[in-house]
C-alpha cells in the first residue's frame, strides 16, 4: 500500500463525518416534530377558516355578530387591564426581592416562584375557595363587622381581573426582576452620590434602564391574558365572556365548520400581531427572557434597534425634563422612608395575594366538613383517603403521570438536542429557528387544541396516551430549549477547548465537561417539561376522550360540577410536587428565569 492510498480514505471519511458532525443537524428532530404536529395543523386551521363562500365569509361573521366582536373588545380590555395591574404591582415586588438579602430574599422569591409553577387551574380553584360564600374572606369581613350576610364575591368582572392578575403576576415579577438583577449596582450608588434622592434614582435610573424588562413582562402577560380560558370561565359571570371561551363553547355544540376556525385564527393573528410589533421594537428575545444569540443575521437589527432606542430615549428625556424634574424636587421633600415603605407595602400585599390562596387550600384539604368552609370545623384525613381509594381519581392520576413522563421524554430529547444545535451551530437564521422553537409559548392553547383536534381525528390519536403526550410536548419543547440553551451558554467554551487541546475527542469533551456543567439545567428541564404536561388542561379538553381522563380533566369536571375538598387534596399534592421540584432545581433557577 502506498502512502497516498492510506491517506486518501480518511480524507473522504472525514469529509463525510464532517457533515454528520455539524451541530445544526441536532435541530432537525425538534424542527420536524414541530413542523408536523404544530405548524401544519395551524396552517390547516387557516385553510379551513377560509372555506366559507366567499373565503372571508366566516371572518365577516366574527366581526358582524355583536356577541363575538364585543367579546373581542372585552378580551382586549381585560388583557390590557391585567397587564397594567401586573406591571404596577409587580415592579415594587421585584424591587423588594432585589433589595432584600439572605434568607428574606430566598423566602420572598420562593413565594413568587412557587405559584409560577402551580397549575393555573389549581390557583384559580384556590381563589374560588377564598372568595366563596363560606370562604375566609366573607367570614373575616363578617367577623370584622363590615357586613353581616356573606356576599357573592365570585362571578363578576372584578374577580376575573383579580384572578387573572394573581395568576399572571409571577411572570411579570420574574421578568422585571431578571432585568433589575442585570443592572450594575454601582449605577444606583453613582446616582445617590450625585445627589439623587431614592425617588430620583428610581425615576431617572432604575425605571429607564428596566423599561425593556417592564415591556417584556407587560407583553408576556398581555399575550397570555388574550388567550386565557380557565380563569375567566371559573371566576367570571355571563358578562365576562372572553374570546377563547367562545372557541371551546362552539367546539361543544357543533356549528358550521369553518366559523370556529375563523374565531381561532382571529385570536391567533391578534396574538402574533402583538408579538411581532413588540419583537420588532425590542427584539424577540423578550419571549424567552434570554440574552441575544450570536447570529450573523442579527447584527443589522441590533444597530437599528439602538438608533430607534436613542430617538425614543431623547423624547422620554424631554418629557421627564418637563414634568419630571419639578415633580421630583417636590416629592423629594418627603421623608426618604416613604418610598421604601411603599415598596414594602405593595410587595407584602402581592406576596400575600400569591401565597394566601394556596395556604387556604392546603388547610381546607384537612377539613372535616364535606363542603367548603373556612376555617374548617374539624380536622381529618378523610379527603386524602377518599382520593387514594377512589378508582376514578387514581386512574386519572396514573394516566397523568404516564402521559407526563412520556411527554417529558419527548420534549427533553427533542428540546435538549435542539438547544445544543442552537447554541453550538454556526447557521444563519438562528433567531428565526429559535423563534419557531419557543413560539408555542405564545400561541393560545385554545387555538392549538382546536388545530390539533382535526389532525388527531384523522390519525386516530384522540384519547390516546401518545397523542396527549405528543400534544403536551409542543409546549414542553420551548421550556426545555430555553433552560438548556441558558445552561449551555453558561458553560465556558474555554473549558471545552481546553479538554480538546489536551486530547479529548468531541464525545469525551461532551461527556466529561459539557454534560456535568449542564446536568442541573437538564434536570430542571425534565422536571418542568413533566410539570407542564401534568398540569395541562386546555389541550386535553380538546384531545381527550371520555374514557381517557387526566387529573386536570377530573379537576375541571369536578370544579364545574361541585366544589369539594377532594380538589383541595389534589391541589395540596401538586403544591408538594412543585415544592420538591423547586428545591431540586434551585441552583438552576438562580441562573435563568426558568421556563413558563
Partner 1 sequence: MAETLDWRGSRQDAASRASAATGRDVIGSGISMRNVVKKYGAFVAADRINLDIEPGEFITLLGPSGSGKTTLLNLLAGFQTIDGGEILIDGKSIAHVPTHRRGFGMVFQSYALFPNMTVAQNVAFPLRMAGVDRATSDRRVAETLEMMRLSEHARKTPSEMSGGQQQRVAIARAIVMRPKVVLMDEPLSALDRRLRESIQIEIRELHQTIGSTILFVTHDQSEALTMSDRIAVMDKGHIIQMARPVEIYRHPQSRFVASFVGESNLIEAEILENRGGKMRLRSRAGYVFEAESRNGAASGAATVLVRPERIALHDQPSANTVAATVTSALFMGETLRIEAVMEGGETLLIRCPDTAARNLPEIGTRIHVSWNAQDCWVLA
Residues at the contact surface with partner 1, assessed by CB under 8 A: 184, 186-187, 189-198, 200-201, 204-205, 208-209, 310, 313, 317, 325, 329, 333, 336
How many DSSP H helices and E strands does the chain contain? 30, 0
Least distance between partner 1 and beta carbon 320 (Å):
10
Least distance between partner 1 and beta carbon 200 (Å):
6
Least distance between partner 1 and beta carbon 342 (Å):
17
Nearer to partner 1, 290 or 339 (CB): 339
DSSP-H helix ranges across 425-444 = 430-438
Tell the residue number behind the cell numbers 421550556, with chain if given.
479
By C-alpha distance, which of 304, 251, 255 is closest to 450?
Answer: 251
Least distance between partner 1 and beta carbon 310 (Å):
7
Rounded Cα gap, residues 393 and 48, in angstroms: 37
By C-alpha distance, which of 224, 355, 329, 374 is closest to 287?
Answer: 224
Least distance between partner 1 and beta carbon 194 (Å):
4
Nearer to partner 1, 4 or 314 (CB): 314
Nearer to partner 1, 333 or 547 (CB): 333
Least distance between partner 1 and beta carbon 587 (Å):
24
Nearer to partner 1, 286 or 530 (CB): 286
Q: Is the peptide bond before 54 cis (omega within 30 degrees of 0)?
A: yes
* Contact between residue 585 and residue 484 where contact means Cβ atoms under 8 Å apart: no
C-alpha cell at 98: 432585589
Least distance between partner 1 and beta carbon 208 (Å):
4
Rounded Cα gap, residues 193 and 338, in angstroms: 20
Nearer to partner 1, 88 or 187 (CB): 187
Nearer to partner 1, 227 or 339 (CB): 339
Least distance between partner 1 and beta carbon 186 (Å):
4
C-alpha cell at 309: 432606542
C-alpha cell at 205: 435610573
Nearer to partner 1, 193 or 507 (CB): 193
Tell the residue number behind the cell numbers 407587560, with chain if given.
218
* Contact between residue 407 and residue 529 where contact means Cβ atoms under 8 Å apart: yes
Farthest CA pair distance, the chain: 102
Nearer to partner 1, 115 or 197 (CB): 197
Distances (CA, A) of 36 to 185, 446, 464, 473: 47, 18, 18, 13
Amino acid at each position: 500500500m502506498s502512502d497516498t492510498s492510506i491517506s486518501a480514505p480518511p480524507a473522504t471519511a472525514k469529509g463525510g463525518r464532517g457533515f454528520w458532525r455539524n451541530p445544526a443537524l441536532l435541530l432537525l428532530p425538534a424542527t420536524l416534530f414541530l413542523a408536523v404536529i404544530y405548524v401544519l395543523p395551524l396552517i390547516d386551521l387557516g385553510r379551513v377558516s377560509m372555506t366559507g363562500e366567499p373565503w372571508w365569509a366566516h371572518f365577516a361573521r366574527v366581526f358582524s355578530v355583536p356577541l363575538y366582536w364585543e367579546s373581542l373588545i372585552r378580551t382586549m380590555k381585560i388583557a390590557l387591564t391585567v397587564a397594567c395591574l401586573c406591571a404596577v404591582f409587580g415592579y415594587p415586588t421585584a424591587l423588594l426581592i432585589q433589595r432584600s438579602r439572605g434568607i428574606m430574599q430566598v423566602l420572598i422569591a420562593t413565594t413568587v416562584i412557587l405559584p409560577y409553577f402551580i397549575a393555573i387551574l389549581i390557583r384559580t380553584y384556590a381563589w374560588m375557595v377564598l372568595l366563596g360564600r363560606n370562604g375566609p374572606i366573607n367570614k373575616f369581613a363578617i367577623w370584622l363587622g363590615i357586613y353581616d350576610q356573606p356576599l357573592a364575591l365570585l362571578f363578576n368582572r372584578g374577580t376575573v381581573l383579580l384572578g387573572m392578575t394573581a395568576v399572571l403576576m409571577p411572570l411579570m415579577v420574574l421578568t422585571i426582576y431578571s432585568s433589575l438583577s442585570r443592572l450594575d449596582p454601582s449605577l444606583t450608588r453613582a446616582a445617590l452620590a450625585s445627589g439623587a434622592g431614592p425617588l430620583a434614582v428610581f425615576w431617572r435610573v432604575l425605571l429607564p434602564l428596566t423599561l425593556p424588562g417592564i415591556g417584556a413582562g407587560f407583553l408576556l402577560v398581555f399575550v397570555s391574558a388574550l388567550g386565557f380560558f380557565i380563569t375567566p370561565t371559573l371566576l367570571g359571570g355571563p358578562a365576562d365572556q372572553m374570546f377563547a371561551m367562545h372557541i371551546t363553547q362552539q367546539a361543544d355544540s357543533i356549528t358550521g365548520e369553518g366559523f370556529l376556525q375563523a374565531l381561532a385564527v382571529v385570536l391567533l393573528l391578534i396574538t402574533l400581531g402583538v408579538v411581532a410589533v413588540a419583537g420588532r421594537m425590542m427584539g424577540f428575545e423578550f419571549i424567552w427572557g434570554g440574552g441575544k444569540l450570536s447570529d450573523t443575521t442579527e447584527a443589522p437589527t441590533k444597530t437599528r434597534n439602538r438608533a430607534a432606542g436613542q430617538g425614543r430615549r431623547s423624547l422620554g428625556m424631554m418629557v421627564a425634563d418637563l414634568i419630571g424634574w419639578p415633580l421630583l424636587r417636590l416629592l423629594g421633600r418627603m421623608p426618604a422612608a416613604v418610598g421604601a415603605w411603599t415598596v414594602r407595602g405593595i410587595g407584602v400585599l402581592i406576596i400575600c395575594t400569591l401565597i394566601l390562596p394556596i395556604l387556604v387550600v392546603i388547610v381546607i384539604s384537612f377539613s372535616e366538613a364535606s363542603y367548603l368552609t373556612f376555617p374548617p370545623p374539624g380536622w381529618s384525613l378523610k379527603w386524602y383517603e377518599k382520593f387514594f381509594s377512589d378508582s376514578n381519581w387514581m386512574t386519572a392520576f396514573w394516566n397523568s403521570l404516564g402521559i407526563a413522563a412520556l411527554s417529558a421524554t419527548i420534549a427533553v430529547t427533542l428540546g435538549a438536542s435542539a438547544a445544543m444545535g442552537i447554541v453550538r451551530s454556526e447557521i444563519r437564521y438562528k433567531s428565526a429557528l429559535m423563534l419557531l422553537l419557543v413560539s408555542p409559548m405564545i400561541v393560545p392553547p385554545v387555538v392549538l387544541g382546536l388545530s390539533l383536534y382535526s389532525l388527531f381525528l384523522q390519525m386516530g390519536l384522540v384519547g390516546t396516551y401518545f397523542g396527549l403526550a405528543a400534544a403536551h410536548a409542543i409546549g414542553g419543547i420551548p421550556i426545555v430549549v430555553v433552560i438548556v440553551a441558558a445552561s449551555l451558554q453558561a458553560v465556558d467554551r474555554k473549558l471545552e477547548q481546553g479538554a480538546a487541546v489536551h486530547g479529548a475527542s468531541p464525545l469525551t469533551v461532551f461527556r466529561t465537561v459539557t454534560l456535568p456543567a449542564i446536568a442541573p439545567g437538564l434536570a430542571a428541564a425534565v422536571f418542568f417539561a413533566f410539570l407542564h404536561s401534568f398540569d395541562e388542561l386546555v389541550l386535553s379538553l380538546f384531545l381527550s376522550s371520555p374514557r381517557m381522563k387526566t387529573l386536570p380533566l377530573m379537576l375541571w369536571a369536578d370544579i364545574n360540577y361541585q366544589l369539594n375538598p377532594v380538589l383541595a387534596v389534589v391541589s395540596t399534592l401538586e403544591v408538594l410536587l412543585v415544592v420538591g421540584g423547586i428545591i431540586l432545581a434551585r441552583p438552576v433557577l438562580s441562573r435563568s428565569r426558568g421556563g413558563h
